[in-house]
Amino acid sequence: PDGLVGAVNAAAPATVQRFVSDLNAQRMENYRKIAQETGAPIDAVQTRAGAQLIGATPAGQFVMNAAGQWMKK
């Protein structure tokens, strides 16, 4: 998990793709800030955030596993 979001359907409308891109840019900005403040590598910050986000995702929603496959939680 990298703490980013994605569209489950690669053919999602452009508005969805733009939303995903904008949200991920905001998340990366926050992850960089946390990494800089804590001295942790950014990939470690992303991994921790991703695990927390997956943990908070309600059952029935899709999450991406470590192999890059979408699965229903």
7 touches 18 (CB < 8 A): no
Contacts of 29 (CB under 8 A, 6+ apart): none
pTM here is 0.87
Please report, for residues 16, 29, 50, 51, the alpha-carbon distance to residue 10 in angstroms, rounded to integers and kept in the order given: 10, 24, 21, 23
62 touches 12 (CB < 8 A): no
| pLDDT tens-digit readout, 8-66 | 998 999 999 999 999 999 999 999 999 999 999 999 999 999 999 999 999 999 999 88
d(CA 39, CA 19): 30
